[in-house]
Amino acid sequence: MINIMLVDDERVIREGLSLIINALDSSYKIIAKVTNGSEALELMHTFPPDIVITDIKMPVMDGIELIERMQEKFPEIKKVVLSGFDEFEYVRQSMKCGAVDYLLKPVNESELADLLEELCAVISKEKGLDTPATAENENYLIKQIKSYIEQNYQEEMSLTSVAKVVNVNSNYLSVMFKNQTGESFVDYFTKVRIEKAKKLLKDVRLKTYEVGEHVGYKDAAYFSKVFKKFVGMSPSEYRNR
């Protein structure tokens, strides 16, 4: 889905462009139609588009200033300007500020279609390049977390505390960990502890509560409860099976 924002103080232009774009391809989505650059910038923080098509002459904030501000805050968004035949100097200025192309009014449907197709190809390529990099970073992060758990499973830890260790947002870590491993952080951490406990239970010199303490459970009853939940039997039953 390619998200598009339309910025023009003339309602007929906004609605006309919206009708044309919606008819071109179902993958195009008009996420906002606003009347000036100030409104557009405010909305971008909440609903960032892939493409912005903006008029040049508008009240409050014109298209040139909008493009300049976008180039500072949202350089990745593709910027297209709408221009009249007598506005070429403004078009040239907008291109210097970061606009990628322009459309003459009244907008020709086939020219708009060709331009959107070209921009979509560029956006898809950029997103494709980002995806492997993101996946590689997430794989590295998971390895870091698993290594940290392996070395510190005896200690108390939570999703929040581990997020601080690897310097990421805890909500992001929660979703990313589940997507990458297929299980929640808590389940993975607990499974590591239980697997360590199963190995220690083979040593008959250790009492079951001592095994629990070795893997981080100070409360013997709680250790037994968690062990049974994951293994299907109590630590004593597992040892004597």
Confidence of residue 193 (pLDDT cuts 50, 70, 90): very high
Rounded to an integer, the average pLDDT of 177-205 is 93
Output the pLDDT for position 130: 64
Position 241 pLDDT exceeds 70: yes
pLDDT digits (tens, 9 = 90+) for 125-163: 777 766 666 777 888 889 999 999 999 999 999 988 998
pLDDT digits (tens, 9 = 90+) for 14-57: 999 999 999 998 889 999 999 999 999 999 988 899 999 999 88
Q: Could you give phi then psi for residue 51, rounded to 5 degrees?
A: -135, 140
Q: How many C-beta neighbours within 10 Å does residue 187 have? A: 14
Of 201 and 45, which is predicted with more confidence? 201
The pTM (predicted TM-score) of the whole model is 0.56
Of 133 and 175, which is predicted with more confidence? 175
CATH: 3.40.50.300, 3.30.1300.10, 1.20.1260.10, 1.10.10.60. Which one for 187-240? 1.10.10.60
pLDDT digits (tens, 9 = 90+) for 62-115: 889 999 999 999 999 999 999 876 677 888 888 888 898 888 888 999 899 999
Output the pLDDT for position 23: 92
Question: Minimal CA–CA distance to 56: which of 21, 86, 19, 15?
Answer: 86
101: left (phi over 0), alpha (psi -120 to 50) or beta: beta
DSSP 78: E
Our measurement of the distance from residue 195's CA atom to the centroid of its chain's CA atoms, rounded to an integer in Å, reads 33
CATH T-level assignment (fold) for domain 2-107: Rossmann fold (3.40.50)
Output the pLDDT for position 85: 62
- Beta-bridge mates of residue 32: 5
Of 128 and 3, which is predicted with more confidence? 3
- Determine contact, residues 8/55, Cβ cutoff 8 Å: yes
Q: Could you give phi then psi for residue 104, rounded to 5 degrees?
A: -85, 140
- Long-range contacts formed by 35-41: CB under 8 A, 24+ apart: 35/7, 35/8, 35/9, 35/59, 36/7, 36/9, 36/60, 36/61, 36/62, 37/7, 37/61, 37/62, 37/63, 37/65, 37/66, 37/69, 39/7, 40/5, 40/7, 40/66, 41/66, 41/69, 41/70, 41/73
| CATH 3.40.50.2300 boundaries in the chain | 2-107
| CATH 1.10.10.60 boundaries in the chain | 187-240
User: Residue 72 carries which side chain, given as an amino acid letter?
Assistant: E
Of 191 and 92, which is predicted with more confidence? 191
Output the pLDDT for position 132: 67
